[in-house]
C-alpha cells in the first residue's frame, strides 16, 4: 500500500487513530482494534479516517463503531465481519462494496 500521510494523533485523544487525505489502497487493517475498554461490557471506538482512498484495503473483523469515516473511497474494500454501526460514512464512494459482508 502507498500511504503518503499517516497520522496517529495524540493531541486530544491519546488512543485515537487519525488518517486524513491519504492513499491507503490495499492497506491491511485486518483484525485491528480501535476500541477503548471501560469495562468488559462498556467500550468505545476512536478512529477518524476521512478523505482517504481505502480501495482494496482489508477491514475484515475490524470494529469501527461511532467513528468519523466520511468522504472515503471504499471500492473493492474487504469488510467481512467488520462493524460500522453508528459511524458517519457520508460522502463516501462505495462501488463494489459488499454491505452484507459487514
Instruction: Name the pTM for this structure.
Output: 0.77
pLDDT at 15: 57
Question: Which own/partner contact pairs does 40-46 have at CB distance under 8 Å and 24+ positions apart?
Answer: 46/13, 46/15, 46/16, 46/17
Q: Considering the domain 1-102 in this protein, what is its CATH number?
A: 2.160.20.80
Spatial distance between the Cα atoms of 94 and 100, rounded to a whole number of angstroms: 13
- 34 closest CA partner among 21, 49, 52, 20: 49
Each residue's pLDDT tens digit, 3-57: 444 444 444 455 578 899 999 999 999 988 777 767 777 767 788 999 999 999 9
Q: How confident is the model at residue 76 (pLDDT cuts 50, 70, 90)?
A: very high
- Give domain limits for the chain: 1-102
Higher pLDDT, 36 or 87: 87
Amino acid at each position: 500500500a502507498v500511504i503518503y500521510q499517516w497520522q496517529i494523533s495524540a493531541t486530544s485523544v491519546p488512543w485515537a487513530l487519525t488518517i486524513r487525505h491519504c492513499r491507503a489502497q490495499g492497506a491491511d487493517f485486518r483484525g485491528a482494534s480501535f476500541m477503548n475498554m471501560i469495562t468488559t461490557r462498556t467500550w468505545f471506538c476512536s478512529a477518524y479516517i476521512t478523505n482517504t482512498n481505502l480501495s482494496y484495503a482489508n477491514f475484515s473483523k475490524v470494529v469501527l463503531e461511532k467513528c468519523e469515516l466520511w468522504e472515503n473511497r471504499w471500492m473493492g474494500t474487504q469488510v467481512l465481519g467488520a462493524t460500522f454501526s453508528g459511524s458517519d460514512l457520508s460522502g463516501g464512494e462505495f462501488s463494489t462494496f459488499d454491505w452484507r459482508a459487514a
